[in-house]
């Protein structure tokens, strides 16, 4: 059943978090919906514009629409991840998304407010909720000063004005995480002092954590043992920090990298172990099962199992 993230966040705030999983392929859609149904956990299926264009926006939506029939007990929202105005308006017009992100976080505060506000005005007319982002999420590099590092984090003193002026429904923040498999090159994990200050200023307002992948070292090892050359220093978010962030109002945790690593591991191992085979179905089947298992573990970690 399609449910608004607004309802998810109202139920989960401070208690558990909703996994927002990026999908690119049919196998990932199956694994996610299967896990959601099995765990009776609410979830968000999300896609970036890159993911939509890969298969074709119609194709990815058709797969999700099929999954809603194949897994009738799944409870989920359909979200556009990291959109521009054009992507968000297209998603709203498709009539299939109930949530979009406008990512104007790289713009100056005032421009971010104006761009976000325009998307919110349109989205709310169609009962679509909007996630916005304040602060620049990126790898905080070793070679920039502490002051510069700080400027990239969400400034807690800006959040009230941003939320009040834009009327966004949830806020993605930059508190130390980054996208990809090489997080925390110069930082020390999630900055809880900043997160707490944000929460104090916007109590009960849903906070979104991008860059939520754990980047399991075992997965990196297995990929490299089967021919991969991922760099030393691959690192993700400590699961204990993820759990702790939920108390600070984090309601939605985005995951993409972990599923990419999983896909890579399954396929590398399969083709290394079976060099005589050339069949997409066998590794595809394994990947669906592994994706389901991986998501079930995330639901448990986030406290979402049984909450749908």
For 139, counting Cβ atoms within 10 Å of its Cβ (0-12 exposed, 13-18 middle, 19+ buried), the class is middle
Q: What sign results for the dihedral spanned by CA atoms 220, 223, 224, 230?
A: negative
For 21, counting Cβ atoms within 10 Å of its Cβ (0-12 exposed, 13-18 middle, 19+ buried), the class is buried
CA distances for 35 relative to 93, 208, 295, angstroms: 29, 22, 6
Q: Tell me: does residue 52 bind Zn ion (CB under 5 A).
A: no
Pick from Zn ion, Na ion, ligand 13P, none: which does 180 bind, CB < 5 to 8 A by kind?
ligand 13P
Q: Interface residues with ligand 13P (CB under 6 A)?
A: 22, 81-82, 179-180, 210-213, 254-258
- Cβ proximity to ligand G3H: between 124 and 179 the closer is 179
Partners of 2 in the β-ladder = 76
Site for Na ion in 81-110 (CB under 5 A): 81, 101
Pick from Na ion, ligand G3H, Zn ion, none: which does 265 bind, CB < 5 to 8 A by kind?
none
Question: CA 229, 230, 236: angle at the middle one, nearest 5?
Answer: 165
Pick from Zn ion, ligand G3H, ligand 13P, none: which does 50 bind, CB < 5 to 8 A by kind?
ligand G3H
Rounded to whole angstroms, the Cα distance separating 161 from 198 reads 12
- Cβ proximity to ligand G3H: between 50 and 217 the closer is 50
- Smallest gap from Cβ 206 to Zn ion, in A, equals 15
> Is-contact 101 80, C-beta < 8 A?
yes
Q: Tell me: does residue 59 bind ligand G3H (CB under 6 A).
A: no
- Cβ proximity to ligand 13P: between 37 and 258 the closer is 258
- Cβ proximity to Na ion: between 177 and 283 the closer is 177
Query: Which run of H or of E encompasses 209?
Result: strand 207-209
Q: Which one of 210, 222, 252, 307 is in contact with Zn ion (CB under 5 A)?
A: 210
CB contact burial 228-251 (16+ within 10 A = b; e otherwise): bebeeebbbbeeeebeebbebbbb
Q: Known catalytic residue: 273?
A: no
User: Binding mask 63-82 vs Na ion (x if CB under 5 A, - otherwise)?
Assistant: ------------------x-
- Cβ proximity to ligand 13P: between 107 and 165 the closer is 107
Interface with Zn ion (CB under 5 A)? 210, 254
Residue numbers annotated as active site: 81
Interface with Na ion (CB under 5 A)? 81, 101
């Amino acid at each position: 059943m399609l449910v608004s993230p607004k309802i998810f966040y109202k139920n989960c705030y401070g208690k558990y978090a909703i996994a927002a999983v990026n999908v690119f392929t049919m196998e990932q859609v199956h694994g996610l919906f299967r896990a959601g149904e099995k765990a009776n956990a609410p979830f968000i299926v999300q896609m970036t514009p890159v993911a939509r264009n890969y298969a074709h926006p119609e194709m990815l939506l058709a797969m999700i629409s099929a999954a809603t029939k194949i897994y009738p007990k799944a409870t989920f929202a359909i979200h556009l991840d990291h959109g521009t105005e054009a992507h968000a308006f297209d998603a709203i017009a498709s009539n299939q998304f109930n949530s979009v992100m406008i990512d104007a976080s790289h713009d100056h505060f005032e421009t971010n407010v104006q761009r976000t506000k325009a998307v919110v005005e349109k989205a709310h007319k169609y009962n679509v909720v909007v996630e916005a982002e304040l602060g620049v999420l990126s790898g905080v590099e070793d070679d920039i000063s502490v002051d510069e590092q700080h400027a990239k984090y969400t400034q807690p003193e800006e959040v009230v004005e941003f939320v009040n002026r834009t009327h966004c429904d949830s806020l993605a923040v930059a508190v130390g995480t980054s996208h990809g498999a090489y997080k925390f090159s110069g930082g020390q994990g999630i900055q809880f002092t900043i997160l707490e200050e944000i929460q104090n200023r916007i109590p009960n307002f849903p906070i979104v954590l991008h860059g939520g992948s754990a980047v399991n070292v075992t997965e990196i090892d297995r990929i490299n043992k089967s021919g991969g050359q991922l760099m030393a220093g691959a690192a993700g978010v400590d699961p204990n920090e993820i759990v702790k962030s939920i108390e600070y109002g984090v309601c939605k945790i985005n995951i993409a990298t972990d599923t990419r690593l999983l896909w890579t591991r399954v396929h590398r191992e399969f083709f290394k172990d079976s060099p005589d085979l050339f069949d997409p179905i066998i590794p595809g089947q394994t990947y669906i099962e592994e994706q389901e298992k991986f998501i079930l573990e995330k639901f448990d970690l986030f406290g979402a199992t049984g909450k749908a």
